Amino acid sequence: MRITRFEDARGTGTGALTDGGLRRLPWPRLDDLFAEPDPAAAVRAVDVRGLEPVGEHRLLAPTAQRCQLIATGGNYDAHVAEGGRAVTEPVFFPALRSSILGPGGEIVKPAEDTFLDYEVEFAVVIGKRVSKLTPETAMDAVFGYTVANDVSAREVMAGNKLQIMLAKCLDTFWPVGPHLVTADEVPDLGRLKVTSSLNGQLRQSGSTSQLIFDVPTLLSKLTASITLHPGDIVTTGTPGGVGYFRTPPESMRPGDVITVEVEGVGALTNRVIAGW
């Protein structure tokens, strides 16, 4: 199932994308779905043919209100190489709730001299409360998948590599969506194409086969000391080709349109606007 979060004349709701359009799910919020004893089983029990169609609406980020978003840095050889780094262990950092943006939302470039960059990321959505996962048990915790764009202010990172929050977690810097795809619809994570396009021109092109640390490894390393909860999102890193390391370097500008896409999961599009 492809699950959305939306806003219409009645307020916000959750919906299922079907051949007949968007249909209203019985959970008013994704938090309500993830509060079910087994969210995956609850979704499988729904007969989408009997659901109410949704009329005019606006898509929102398919995230639970209380979700933790945890990002992975430097997890593709090509991106690690273009940054001149070496990676021996997964690198994680948290994102702020206020930075999450939905599909079609506007990415705010905060200042004229901000070097605004794009990073397509395949993201995993957790379906149960878990800790101390192993690579063998990790996939049992996965509810589904979505797409994220790790928007970055590169000049902040260049000035102070430790200043992750002010480089990657400003308002609107984490577009997520356009929907959440349940795990049964993406059975093979090994060869999903991962791309970004700026104003319709391809910029990044990679595959999940190129991950340095695969999803089970990331989840087992992360939960060794951190508890994950239903609805939490863990991203998996970005391939090479980001704007900062292109020749010449390429910063996103107001009016630009960035689309990040993961094969079988979805395409997420946002426009850049000036914030000054």
For the chain, give every residue range classified as CATH 3.90.850.10. Answer: 69-274
Task: Summarize the confidence of residues 200-222 as an average pLDDT.
Answer: 97
- What token pair was written down for 265? 């999961």
| Residue 118 near residue 268, CB atoms below 8 Å | no
Tell me the pairing of strands 233-235 and 69-73: parallel
Spatial CA neighbour of 67 closest among 131, 127, 149: 127
What separation, in Å, do the N-terminal and C-terminal C-alpha atoms of the chain show? 40
pTM, entire model: 0.95
87 pLDDT higher than 90: no
pLDDT at residue 1 in the model: 96
Number of helices followed by number of strands (H, E) in the chain:
6, 18
> Does residue 127 sit in helix, strand or coil?
coil
Task: Summarize the confidence of residues 97-119 as an average pLDDT.
Answer: 97
Q: What is the C-alpha separation between 71 and 29, in angstroms, rounded? A: 23
For residue 167, give the H/E element and its range.
helix 164-168
**Quick one: pLDDT band at residue 160, thresholds 50, 70, 90?**
confident
- Tell the CATH superfamily of the 69-274 domain: Fumarylacetoacetase-like, C-terminal domain (3.90.850.10)
Biggest CA–CA distance in the chain, Å, is 55
pLDDT at residue 84 in the model: 67
Task: Give me the helices (H) in 83-124, please.
Answer: none
32 pLDDT higher than 90: yes
What CA–CA distances, in Å, run from 121 to 7, 78, 167, 174, 185?
Answer: 25, 14, 17, 10, 18
* 246: CB partners within 8 A, 6+ apart: 203
Q: What is the C-alpha separation between 128 and 40, in angstroms, rounded? A: 9
pLDDT in tens, 34-46: 999 999 999 999 9
Spatial CA neighbour of 185 closest among 69, 16, 6: 16
| Residue 151 near residue 107, CB atoms below 8 Å | yes
Residue type, 242: V
Average pLDDT of every residue of the chain: 95
**Quick one: pLDDT band at residue 253, thresholds 50, 70, 90?**
very high
Q: How many CB atoms lie within 10 A of CB 136?
A: 9
Q: What is the C-alpha separation between 240 and 50, in angstroms, rounded? A: 44
Q: What is the C-alpha separation between 190 and 121, in angstroms, rounded? A: 14
Radius of gyration of the chain (CA): 18
